[in-house]
Structure 1
């Protein structure tokens, strides 16, 4: 049995369906990220786990216990919000110890726990400060300490880094991941930032329009997207339209050019039109070679970006992007020049029908 089980979770607001049949099993100590655009349902799931929202139907079990009818404070979850949500009239120490005081813990125990949390977030000497006297990154560390002070079974983080500048975001997300591993706490992180999701997660749940598109490790989500949405939302992607020539051999055709994929195709796929995906970093400029796919294309644009040069080449109606490292001794192709785009059979991804 998984540590946190979510079964058939469904949520409607009037006639609007916010979440469609959400299922998820999360193991103890996992770091899970819900990734998707605004309005996809990821925060709705988080709020239902916390008890701030009631599902229209479905079940949530934590450590084998049904928590659907428990209040938020009874669920043993800690939550970090995007807006910090610190009490401005309380000191840092007061904010961190607030939940413990509400729970009626002894003052000596509260002081000890607050000191532990201040040390954990690397702000041991700032307990007497007020939130307005601290930077945004420091305030979010305090919010994290407050969520952890009560020793929750699950830590929920609702886009906690979105209000911070880029440099602080990178530093704080690394700290969050380090703390999560150190404490071994089951955590769910909500973001629309693909880089955040890829860099800190054990598994990623990609969501779109209230539905789960794909669940997998960062490597699986990025390298083997199942749907067009996942492929285009996570990273840069080239989309091609192809036709299945020989399903048993994985043969496809794009603009009359034969390509091979290692993905399994159904026997009745012969002749069907399928969407194909190809990551820019999987493509190189090279002459045709045995055991490799090759596409004949025409260069449309060459952009110098410093360490990287981005090349855009046209194949049929599609424009394919690829990046090459800047090498002063390398001659780059010119606009209008025919080129051969090479990539392995494994890198040609066939997306699910209707995706």
Structure 2
């Protein structure tokens, strides 16, 4: 039995459906990220887990208990919001202890827990300050401490880093992950930032238009996207139109050039058009060795990006980009130059039919 189970969750607002048939099992201590564009339903799921929204249908079980229709305060969840949501007229210590105070915990217990939380978020000497006296990163740490003060079973984080600048975001997301591991708390993190999702998650749920596109580890989501939406939303990707020559051997054709994939294809796919995906970093600028794929192309553009050089090439109707490391001792191709693009059979991905 999973620690948190979400079964056939569905949410409609009048005639608009925000979430379709969401199913997931989350183990105790997992760090899960809901990833997707604005309006994809990820925050709607989070709010239903927290008890701020009621599902149109479906079941939410926490530690083998049906909490679908329980109030938020009965669920033992902590939530961190994008906007911090700190009380401006309260000190940092009072903000952290607020949830404990309204549940009528003894004053000595509240004081001890607040001190523990201040140590945990590395702000032990700022308890008497007010939120307006703190930086954005410090305010979000206080919001995190407040969510953890009541020892929740699940920690929910709704785009908690989106209001911060890039450098602080990177530092704070690392701190959040370190705290989560230290406490062993089951956590769900919502973001539209693919780098955040890939860097801190045990598993990622990629969502689009109220539906789950794919669930998997960061490596699975990045390296083996199942649909066109996942492939294009997570990382830079080349999308190619191919035709199946021989499903049994994985033979494909792209603009008349034969390629091979290691993916299993349905027997009746012969002659069908299928969309193919290929990561820029999987391609080398040289003819492939035996047992690998080669595409003949023409260079359209060379973009110097510092440590990496991105080269854009064309194969008739298809544009293919590849990334190479900047090596001052190695020359770069010129625009209009014919080149050979080499890549492994495993790196040529056939996307599921019907992927958005």
Residue in 2 that maps onto 1:18: 18
Residue in 2 that maps onto 1:4: 4
Unaligned runs of 5+ in 1: none
Aligned length: 355
Supply the distance in 2 between the matched residues of 1:65 and 1:354 (Cα, whole angstroms): 36
Supply the distance in 2 between the matched residues of 1:116 and 1:65 (Cα, whole angstroms): 29
Shift of 1:289: 2.0
Report which stretch shifted further, 301-310 or 197-206: 301-310
Supply the distance in 1 between the matched residues of 2:148 and 2:170 (Cα, whole angstroms): 21
Matches within 5 A, 1:295-314: 295-314=295-314
Shift of 1:183: 0.1
2:186 maps to 1:186: yes
Residue in 1 that maps onto 2:334: 334
Residue in 1 that maps onto 2:112: 112
Shift of 1:287: 2.0
Unaligned runs of 5+ in 2: none
Shift of 1:69: 2.0
Give per-residue Cα distances to partners, 1:32-73, cap 9 Å, x unaligned. 000000000000000000000001000000000000121100
Residue in 1 that maps onto 2:214: 214
Supply the distance in 2 between the matched residues of 1:145 and 1:305 (Cα, whole angstroms): 39
Residue in 1 that maps onto 2:99: 99
Residue in 2 that maps onto 1:32: 32
Residue in 2 that maps onto 1:227: 227
Contact 2:296 2:341 in 1 (8 A): yes
Residue in 1 that maps onto 2:292: 292
2:270 maps to 1:270: yes
Residue in 1 that maps onto 2:241: 241
Residue in 1 that maps onto 2:89: 89
Residue in 2 that maps onto 1:176: 176
Supply the distance in 2 between the matched residues of 1:326 and 1:288 (Cα, whole angstroms): 21
Give per-residue Cα distances to partners, 1:311-343, cap 9 Å, x unaligned. 000012111111111111111111111100000
Aligned residue for 2:263, secondary structure, equals coil
Aligned residue for 1:151, secondary structure, equals coil
Aligned residue for 2:289, secondary structure, equals coil
Shift of 1:176: 0.2
Aligned residue for 1:249, secondary structure, equals coil
Residue in 1 that maps onto 2:70: 70
Shift of 1:288: 3.8
Contact 2:288 2:343 in 1 (8 A): no
Supply the distance in 2 between the matched residues of 1:318 and 1:103 (Cα, whole angstroms): 62
Shift of 1:273: 0.1
Aligned residue for 1:167, secondary structure, equals helix
Contact 2:54 2:69 in 1 (8 A): no
Structure 1 consecutive aligned stretches of length 4 or more whose deviation exceeds 2 Å: none
Supply the distance in 1 between the matched residues of 2:237 and 2:77 (Cα, whole angstroms): 37
TM-score by length of 1: 0.99
